Structure 1
Amino acid sequence: MELNRLLLFTTFLLHIKPSRMSPMGLICDQRLIQKYVLEAVALEDKVSHCGELPLLQQPVHLPLVGFNPRDWMAKTNQAKGLEVLRDLAKLVDGTAAAQRGLQPGCAFALLQQLYEKASTFLLQLRNFEWQEQDSTRQPEEDSQLIPERNLRTIFQTYKQLVRGKLRLLFHDLWKDSCGGDHG
């Protein structure tokens, strides 16, 4: 399975436009985040068409991605970015663990898509400037995790993360880095 992921990732890298692979290309094209939000919603919808989903034998640990808007706005972009990185890393880990517990089929294929999308965000955000500025400091707090056996919750968590923290982070970075105003 690892070889398949490597081949898929290599194929992805060969077909992606260089401007969209750079963090600034991702941040400065606001249409992209809206596209990713719509894809997250579509993934969650597609999983409902898979029929009865089995519960995972072993629970996976997913980040709690809800947040208080007032607390979020008080954070620096660097703190927001590190928080999103932690949440994405935990979601990627949880998705990979869920895949190991499934047989190939509808849900497995959709989990693979989610894994690829979340891994791409993780890769891009790890290349962003706050990593260099703060590479020696340990995160102030770890993401809170919840054990989950329901596959639908993995898709809901991803959608909530993309619609919430990730979209707001990209908006804030856009304002600061791409000449955006408050409109």
Structure 2
Amino acid sequence: MALIQSALVFVFPAMVIVAGLKDLTSYTIPNWISLVLIGTFFPAALLLGLPPEAIGVSAAVGVAALLGGMVMFALGWIGGGDAKLFAASALWLGWPAFVPFLLITCVMGGALAVALLFLRSNQLQAFVPSNPRWLFRLATKGENVPYGVAIAVGALAAFSTSTLGVAFAGLF
């Protein structure tokens, strides 16, 4: 049973890492990543013995994050994949881990934007190789910011404080 619990819990860090890398290299976060996160949350929560109230609170946090992500998407601040990853991560993290997740994601998003401004500066752009193509695109002026990277860092940093993370740590 512990092996199944572990496997389900490790889906979260694996998927957010894949999402961050995918966004960094292609500026897209495939829908299947968010669907895997949503689909595995409930079995993981049930197998780890989370009470129905905690599962409900996590679901509410996920829905609120989805609504917030939709607003940010509508304003052109983030992409659709970012909004879905943000909501799916919030579902896994629940309350109160959503607060550090949000703060770390914001700080990392700002740091990522500043780093990309520096990388895209006239002084550095001449030194960026044309291959791999994703790195060249990352350094291209006017290109988007892959916020999935910041979301992944925030999610990984907050996971140990989440209800699921604490329940998982209690197994060992």
Name which structure has the greater RCO, CA cutoff 8 Å, separation 6+: 1
Q: TM-score range by the shorter chain?
A: 0.3 to 0.5
TM-score normalized with structure 1 length: 0.37
Q: Which has the higher helix share?
A: 2
TM-score normalized with structure 2 length: 0.39
